[in-house]
Structure 1
């Protein structure tokens, strides 16, 4: 076989920005560098490559490190660079990241007299660190010119053996010099001009698509191609700079690399409707920052923050090489050992679905909540809490299927583990729920469940789960609220009481509230009517032609142990009376007989009442106030299970 020679001027051409060149170069130095991260990733490798005259530092991409670990690439190896990128790591320093290469000669003496050219931007006394490529701190020593080995001869001679399939390399004798012949790569040629653009500037050329796994903050122009696997809802926030909004979406490419892209404010308006889950896009230009692992579960240390010059272009042709989704399922028994707030993928059969309820978050916002139960072949079951739109979208479908006797298989992508008194899984904005997905794990579960798994006994890892009410609730009687001194501490006590409503105060069951919206939150402060006929809010310092009506309902509750007074605001009031405060107020003002009927229908009904118990001061008097935070009608089946579980715990003591 004919010999191989190094591509002349390859280093200078590559550093000048010609990434279309596929040069033949030599590895004149190779060493491993330690990086922070999971031990399974192993060390990375840094090389000095030479074209026989000039050299440049180069970092092997993760997928090439096995070549160095196995010894296939080592000092003296001659390789052809198939794909690479050039990073400007400092103002005057550039270095190469090798994405793909072919080993031509595994080992050879050093060719020529390589030196570090000034135009390479690499100082002889300064080392290039791997964290300048990927942000991970490394342990490394300086690379100086003296560490680059040189051959005694300017042109050492090697040949490939042509015997059989052997690729042994034999040096030619000194008296029979042989020059390496260019059989693989031609000499350097300038990059082609772009037609119909005339003379272009450096950054006018379209960015080349690179794998997500090699994307890092030290690259100049880049582009990635991936499928959107998740898209979060628009979230609004308020900080020192004012009000803002943000949303994120996740991308997956054909190599399995994942990364999150985030948009703020004006970019939300620009990209939110354009980005659709399941479609493939080319994303270019953006600012890469370290991912905050408390909020970003993807296996990538970086996150893209899109900017004004960023582009997100839909690929018209479907790319079948990019999978629709990537799962890493955790069986339910392993979730029991997971840390709090861990992000997991889980798949199981839905065995029960509870009705959707409305709750109020700490920030005053209302949201929907629905709980379901999953079981799998590990002999465990887990409670899954759906939040927001999941309740009325996938949650409603699941409820209808279970009520019809169909128990679907549900795959959850990116659920968050909660470990408060047992383990449960909750949805987050980037979660995805797939019903009866076409996955091997789902098919196995379906067969297991239909062939006996339906009747298999399971143990819940959500230990205190009671389907009819909030998990981990504390049940008390009306008398125990006083007898146990609840609400007397610095923080309120939260209890659940099974009681009947026996009386409503009707003289003032609601108040006039401010309708002004700040972001997604309504003011709701009490407003008064001015002489002009408008409603005035002292907090907002504004006038409004109309006001809102919100419940401030005083009611008396009773169980077998006694009676107590409680206060119900908007959502609990609507649940108790079945209509809005405005509707009830208008019926009263118009002396409509339906007003009395509505009040009577709310009496003498048994409820599970979630109470906030806290001592408050009224004038000079201190007394305990009971506030109704949640109202649930009694589910006989769930209540029976609760009583049986309590009975089992009691009998287990003796």
Structure 2
């Protein structure tokens, strides 16, 4: 039989046990979701604990060896790493619930009350109902801990330390257990969505460690609500637990290949301040913006040349907002470059930029509207800090050349528009661009133009549709009558409309997309769904037709939206299919080569 270590008291007191890996017995265990709520015993004392990621089955009376644990503020031990040493069928010893000083006093008073109550009610014991046993404060805390998903406020103890922390640059999806120490350099506003069938919320932060490593992290739904008020911008924390995935480079300036999604297993602890800098900037020069893909997020530094009036207007979604146009210049070329920046929403009223100010803009989106321009987003921040090197450089340049900015500089919007006018159509995207998108960045429909092969066509290509031309919704057949619940139209006939699931492939990967009637008709050379349905009964017709279109190359226009039926996910829909005109493609590629001045 395994020997138990007398460890409950030091574990509950938050003491480190670096030199031993204590053995304890699980006297109670219940599973819920991906976690286990247990009571552990050392033969003398017992306490509540939570196993956040069970790596082995743990039954009642099992003896486990703890390799890594954390002391929670709610008087719970969080078990991170363990192994099952032995499985028994009885409790070892006679363990009593471990109690703090305050809890001991309470227990004593409760014991006195219980004794007096039992004496006064002994005569009527046959008719009285025994009261339910009260849970100990520790057990109640464990239940509460699990009920809120294992989430907590920021921990204040010193369980996570500098010795455990690893550089952010070394994080990768294969690390299952890791700790980083980082400063929150940026915290976004809480974003909410409500699509009728589901609702949710999220916010993101950017982290910076003492080695200069940066990474972006996101909190969703209950985890976001729990930590949003607790996490403070500019503060330093230890972070442990979370899932790493490929970073969406299109929507962040951080060069790290991965980003973190914090979940209910995450542990965050306050850290003492250190030499971690407050911010880093990866500024793109204005003259180099023509080489940056559209919709990319940039850091930009410049001098305010002109400030336009703030105007109110109503969007296509009938939402009222504001915008203000500002011209920026910098020293990246001679004569100077100028780019238009559009400030959106409440930032029009809160920014304090004046003509001649040197500003550093963190996280602005590059647009192709009119060529090259910039737009603020929810996470955009404006800095006017003389301590930033690029600020000093631009300030000296502006002061030394103050009298030479009266004329017009190189208008990148005009230059880019002229370049685009020589192209037959815009630069293509690749499948990898689809993989780099995420639900927290696609807040409005986005469009990609991809040159790819059809690699998969699902056989169910059409549905029975309403004959009302303004409806075209799916109908239900009942006793020979087709009824549309959308427009309440009934008919003894129906029409067929395409609704296909396609796989498209290029040299960077494969993406599954939906395609509706018009796009699928173009794919099948203007054949209608009714015509295809009429010949579908022929044994060899459909295999021949689908085989003919498989691995045929087209230019696809793909709409990307966020779908929230159960949980947020991206939806890719092909809205246009265009056969490749190889002569035009060749001219387009030649025009791109000329842009590089080769």
TM (normalized to structure 2)?
0.41
With the length of structure 1 as denominator, give the TM-score of the two structures: 0.38
